[in-house]
Structure 1
Amino acid sequence: MAEKKTEKAEAKTEAKEVRVENPLALVEKVKKTGKLKIGINEVTKAVERGVAKAVVVAEDVNPKEIVMHLPALCKEKNIPLLNAPSKKELGEKAGIVVGTAAIAVLEEGDAKKEIDALHKK
């Protein structure tokens, strides 16, 4: 008797991580014409509610454990996950004076084409 494979058993735990040439430029464009949520707690809530269009996480977060749940959540909700080089740069592009570990895009604004392209990858 052969066992049936289920989709759930075959599902990978990795998020749909997408490489974008410049995720910081995307964040800056959304900041000007769209809507962002800034900070790990706000991003987590936006992803859990399914309102985030994309998530950007800084690579230099320390300790890594504070953002380790985001890839799994993004995978579950089918939300693209992008990586930014640093918290400081991510915060600057989001319009705040301090660094931030994560940002969620709620409304794309003028970056709609770029965000839609991320969903297709």
Structure 2
Amino acid sequence: MNQIYDMLQANSNGRIKKGSNEVTKTAERGTAQFIILAEDVNPPELLAHIPLICAEKGIPFGYVADQEHLAQAAGLPAGVKAASIAVMEITKGAQEDFNNVVKAIEGLKA
């Protein structure tokens, strides 16, 4: 979903947490604003628990196709991969993109 990449790039000054352990912690604490998971994670069980926690805590989440593109959109160095990203705060410049992504994801669930 390109909207997720766009939102993450627009939120470049916002705080993020990266990696399955950090993302799991933020989800359990309910402190994440949005969680992004890469679909190409191997084994998929690495992230399988995160959507369940998000549903329990009411945290919106979405999937993107590729770990490398996710890392790039998050502003991580070239060649780095990110299986998951937790967006901790939404900057003013990214608020509209964030709202659009959440609406699109809620529309898919309906």
Shared fold per TM-score greater than 0.5: yes
Q: Residue 83 of structure 1 aligns with which residue? A: 63
Q: TM-score, normalised by structure 1?
A: 0.76
The superposition leaves residues 76-104 of structure 1 with CA deviations (integer Å, 9 ceiling, x where unpaired) of 01111111110000011112130000001
Counterpart code for 1:105 = V
> Structure 1 residues 22-31 or 61-70, which shifts more?
22-31
2:110 maps to 1:111: no
Q: Supply the distance in 1 between the matched residues of 2:32 and 2:44 (Cα, whole angstroms).
A: 21
Q: Percent identity?
A: 36
Give 5+ residue unaligned stretches, structure 1: 1-19
Give 3-state SS (helix, strand or coil) of 1:113's partner. helix
Q: Which runs of 4+ in 1 moved over 6 A?
A: none
Counterpart code for 1:51 = T
Q: TM-score, normalised by structure 2?
A: 0.83
Write the mapping of 1:41-52 to structure 2, written as runs, cut at 5 A: 41-52=21-32
Give 5+ residue unaligned stretches, structure 2: none
2:53 maps to 1:34: no
Which one of the candidate residues 22, 34, 53 is aligned to 1:73? 53
Number of aligned residue pairs: give it: 101
Q: Supply the distance in 1 between the matched residues of 2:47 and 2:88 (Cα, whole angstroms).
A: 19
Distance change >3 Å, CA 99–CA 21, structure 1 → 2 = closer
Q: Supply the distance in 1 between the matched residues of 2:63 and 2:2 (Cα, whole angstroms).
A: 10
Q: CA RMSD in A?
A: 1.7
Q: Which has the larger radius of gyration?
A: 1
Q: Residue 35 of structure 2 aligns with which residue? A: 55
